[in-house]
């Protein structure tokens, strides 16, 4: 019978491990980074470009741009007023608009009437749609309406009743819009007061409205008379 003997394994000797840290940071290599190119002595420097400041024309200059003379059409007397053909839609018959409508409502319809005059003014000579839009947009902006309103006030054209309508329309409360933020609350409110007056005259006295729009510089019918003059500053509504 064989006798088996067991011999224990030798004791493991611990190995010593040495670690070191590199305290100096080195930039990592990026293969996609652009390489530094050597300057080309044959490359000519690009010319210096001078940018000019844009100066937009005033509303008075835009309204004074030449328009084509139109031969007036003879119409029946009953269908005209002030020697021009009746072209505005007939307003509703309201004896006292201020007792029926608020200022915002009159400014709402006045804005439409104002733009209709502006579009008609620039209808001749025929232009491209882009030029139409540029001209009309320039005079329907609240800054342009404010400048035209100051012309009326400086010339003492408005009656006391019409000035009261302006003060009434100036107090229209409205939410903050992009236009109001751009032009400022004062300019925006004065422009709204002009629209209120136009809406008021549309409902009460179309003949007076016609005179007002001619005074502002808009042609009516075949008229091409421009009676506006350039103003240097604007004054607030008194």
Report how far residue 148's alpha carbon sits from residue 194's, in angstroms, rounded to the nearest whole number.
9
Point out the catalytic residue in the list 22, 78, 111, 134: 111
CB atoms within 10 A of CB 228: 19
111 is catalytic: yes
Residue 203: helix, strand or coil by DSSP? helix
Report how far residue 194's alpha carbon sits from residue 190's, in angstroms, rounded to the nearest whole number.
7
Rg (the chain; Cα; Å): 38
For the chain, the residue count is 238
Q: Which helix H or strand E contains 207, and what residues bound it?
A: helix 206-216
Q: Helices marked H in 101-175 — which ranges?
A: 103-121, 129-140, 142-154, 160-170
Enumerate the active-site residues. Answer: 111
């Amino acid at each position: 019978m064989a006798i088996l003997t067991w011999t224990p394994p030798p004791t493991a000797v611990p190995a010593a491990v040495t670690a070191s840290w590199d305290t100096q940071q080195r930039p990592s290599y990026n293969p996609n980074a652009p390489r530094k190119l050597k300057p080309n002595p044959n490359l000519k420097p690009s010319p210096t470009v001078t940018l000019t400041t844009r100066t937009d024309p005033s509303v008075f200059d835009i309204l004074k741009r030449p328009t084509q003379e139109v031969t007036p059409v003879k119409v029946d007397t009953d269908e005209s007023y002030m020697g021009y053909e009746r072209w505005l839609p007939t307003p509703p018959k309201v004896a006292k608009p201020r007792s029926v409508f608020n200022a915002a409502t009159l400014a709402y319809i006045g804005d439409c009437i104002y733009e209709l005059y502006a579009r008609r003014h620039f209808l001749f000579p025929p232009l491209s749609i882009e030029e139409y839009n540029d001209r009309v947009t320039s005079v329907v902006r609240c800054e342009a309406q404010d400048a035209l309103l100051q012309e009326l006030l400086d010339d003492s054209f408005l009656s006391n009743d019409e000035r009261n309508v302006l003060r009434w329309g100036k107090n229209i409360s409205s939410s903050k819009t992009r236009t109001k933020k751009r032009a400022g609350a004062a300019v925006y409110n004065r422009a709204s007061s002009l629209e209120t007056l136009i809406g008021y005259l549309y409902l009460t006295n179309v003949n007076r409205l016609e005179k007002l729009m001619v005074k502002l510089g808009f042609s009516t019918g075949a008229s091409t008379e421009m009676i506006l003059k350039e103003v240097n500053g604007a004054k607030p509504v008194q």
